[in-house]
Structure 1
């Protein structure tokens, strides 16, 4: 394809990267927008095709390439696109009620699936007793295996959505989520329950993998912040409400009703989605339009303006190979992913042990044991609010000064890095000496605060550093943290039995302390490291 001399302006480039990151793919995979109109480097208005961008080399280095291809096919009558800026088929032009209704349904499911990961935790002692198992390994794994599905589900769901659209994936995964939760409720042994929990987590990852893209499809940039906040409230609020509701439900009706209630709620949302949701992915909409026009006109040469020419094989390779390559060849991706993974694993160690600790040490019932998760939840909310406010102000300040670097995102990790070991030591030793129950819960609040501070900043940093391939970098981080969160909690109860709550949590705190230099290292040397170790994709 021919090269052109113009450059992509910073605003247009930023929009391309932001859109792709929200949709969960790299910028050389089709988006719902396709072409950005904006000023070029010479100040004249131009159109930039954000899918058919061609880097000067196949290398993701310290920053993005500014060379893009012109939309050479714009005047080709065989290329089918939107009928102007006000095309009613474009989801951005749908009535407001339809657009926000779609966001509400997706956000509801995004709330339900993380809730399912934690709602089940208070019922673990009941399950182990019913199935006659005393294995502490399985007691931890039956909780954490759900998040293992979060690691592998998006690797399949995301590329399939690029080929067939978002709607079929939503409907299929939502229906399977109901099926697997019903299967969990009907499980007759622990092995069945663990297997179906994994499958429920895998298909339950769909709204987490596709929700950002649906919002980008339907909501303008001016209103997208509100929609993203609504969507992201699920992963934040779900783990707070889940254990509380699950504790009382398990006590009143038994652990199986946790899955029945989840399946019923999922069924209501799924039915609403089937009747009210429409396809929002621009590429899929235009592909249907092309198929219709081919049949009507008999012209076999028609194609979508958003068609990047990528084969299904390429889409799968980009979704699976790229994240793995970035994880193991980039020190930035590996070390930040490691830090996030350890912090995330600590969360699931606490999830899988809270019920037994507070029931045994403090005499909580199965119902009130769910309240022990409140500290983690409230601390996480405080961390998320502080991260959003502080992060936005810091970035805007440096952008106004003209000296913004991706490393300006990472000081947000400093308070989280310090809070994590303090919270673990506070929780561990107060529970060891059986102080009043509020004291260890306050300690877990500090852990939750630290977790969110450590979780949010690296993702934003990876978007800024890897730009065109930001989604692959975030996918690498997601896979590593999900695997750690599924595996490390398996030894949580054994660790506490061997070392006690005080020294067991001190061990976790010492590891967290050893990782503290990572954000300081990247703030100081990050630019040098990403320049020295580019990722060849």
Structure 2
């Protein structure tokens, strides 16, 4: 305080009441003031609580996690059906690709591989906007629109007048058909409690694994009997059934959207415009759009866990599609199987996937109960099954490659693919559940980032696969893949041990 202020204060008139105020009076005045401020704070907090629209407790029946089994099951079954259907269509073309090339008078081997893998390329572009849109407008509008467009794209593929048109329509099939793969994880995060997610995610993960395996079996016999266009018509019929089931059985499950609906209803009933939800501050359209569109890319490039595990998942997914596109070369060329019979060779990986489902899904939920002492759950508890499971993939690749190179009995390389199937299914399930548990409310964005990387690699790897096998042979070609898979086997252990430290590190904390 400067000199002029001190002088002014000394010269100010003195209040007589203050001169007559004793210590007890001053204490009473302070007590009254404190009481008044405290009451005001309590009233303000009470008013804030009264204006907050949230679930009516953890047991609120309106909360998707508390829905009845039938209500949950019809959503889950529909999503699993559509998730299975899309990867099925991606490889049904593989055995009949020579028919397609003959129809359009083309003999380009690179283009032949691209007609198959362009479907998977659509998985790369679709998730980048489908996942964010589901967090902007809810899950159900995205499901409905994409299921209808997926059906339309299959019809267009059946009627394709040229090879270039077929490539474009198959790209759209992958783009819109990838919807349940992209946001299915988010829906299960809405519906299923963490301690029960393992089995459900394992069943759901079976679609991306078993679909590509069963596709060539169906496509081989169907293409041989009725021609490649009927493969597209069968997919169109099946996707139409999925679209109808989606309209009939699926419901909105995204909590922010459900609470927004509750908010609008209560505002209309009470006339109170001050009501809000816990997410209201983050539900402004411009903010939602900006954050939702860039969220998958932020997770992919700024979160080490998402980027590294997505790359790992993508490489293994690429291996699967490389094997899918080269099985006809191996078993038709070396073992002289027919076009229809060669589809049965994919069953080895299918049996392995079922075994991986049984083991991974059961062990995952049991481990959660053992490791989550006193309810202290961590997303990293999803990774232990993958620590040994990762080694199944390189073992299977070495086994398949060298047994096929030495032209042993045809059952021996197929047994090798069983190992690849076990490891691949455990990997897909563990990483999917880890992303769901580590990114609550943003599961769709995390899965979108993972699906985009996985699909891009899955589309590009088969294009180089034939050249690799021609240069190195089946033995050393698959060994090269196996050594790379072996080098990545320590990743699950590393993230199990240090994942929490990385997630909570301020350097990697993202404003999502």
Where do residues 493-512 of structure 1 align in structure 2 (5 Å cutoff)?
Answer: 493-512=466-485
State the partner residue of 2:216. Answer: 243
Distance between the aligned counterparts of 1:403 and 1:91, measured in 2? Answer: 23
Distance between the aligned counterparts of 1:332 and 1:304, measured in 2? Answer: 31
TM-score where L is the length of structure 1 = 0.75
State the partner residue of 1:9. Answer: none
The RMSD of aligned alpha carbons is: 3.6
Distance 1:473 1:213, change over 3 A: closer
The DSSP-based 3-state class of the residue aligned with 1:435 is coil
The C-alpha deviation readout for 1:77-136, integer Å capped at 9, x for no partner, is xx6667899988766787765553343333322221222223232222222232233333
The question of 1:205 aligning with 2:205 is answered no
Do the aligned partners of 1:425 and 1:509 also contact (CA within 8 Å) in 2? yes
Where do residues 2-401 of structure 1 align in structure 2 (5 Å cutoff)?
Answer: 73-76=48-51, 97-215=70-188, 231-285=204-258, 287=260, 307-400=280-373
The DSSP-based 3-state class of the residue aligned with 1:483 is helix
The C-alpha deviation readout for 1:182-214, integer Å capped at 9, x for no partner, is 111112333222221121111112222333444
Do the aligned partners of 1:349 and 1:492 also contact (CA within 8 Å) in 2? yes
**TM-aligned CA deviation for residue 222 of structure 1:** 8.6
Distance between the aligned counterparts of 1:81 and 1:525, measured in 2? Answer: 35
The DSSP-based 3-state class of the residue aligned with 1:362 is coil
Distance between the aligned counterparts of 1:230 and 1:168, measured in 2? Answer: 24
Match of 2:408 among 435, 438, 450: 435
Do the aligned partners of 1:245 and 1:370 also contact (CA within 8 Å) in 2? yes
Do the aligned partners of 2:382 and 2:433 also contact (CA within 8 Å) in 1? yes
The DSSP-based 3-state class of the residue aligned with 2:485 is helix
Distance between the aligned counterparts of 1:365 and 1:464, measured in 2? Answer: 46
Do the aligned partners of 1:322 and 1:472 also contact (CA within 8 Å) in 2? yes
Q: Where do 5+ consecutive residues of structure 1 fail to align? A: 1-69
State the partner residue of 1:48. Answer: none
The C-alpha deviation readout for 1:133-155, integer Å capped at 9, x for no partner, is 33332222222222222233233
State the partner residue of 2:35. Answer: none
Distance between the aligned counterparts of 1:439 and 1:71, measured in 2? Answer: 71
Distance 1:424 1:359, change over 3 A: same
Distance 1:278 1:436, change over 3 A: same
Q: How many residues align?
A: 466
Structure with more of its chain in helix, by fraction: 2
Distance 1:71 1:250, change over 3 A: farther
Do the aligned partners of 2:135 and 2:292 also contact (CA within 8 Å) in 1? no
Q: Please tell me whether Structure 1 or Structure 2 has the larger radius of gyration of its CA atoms.
A: 2
**Higher mean Cα deviation, 278-287 or 109-118?**
278-287
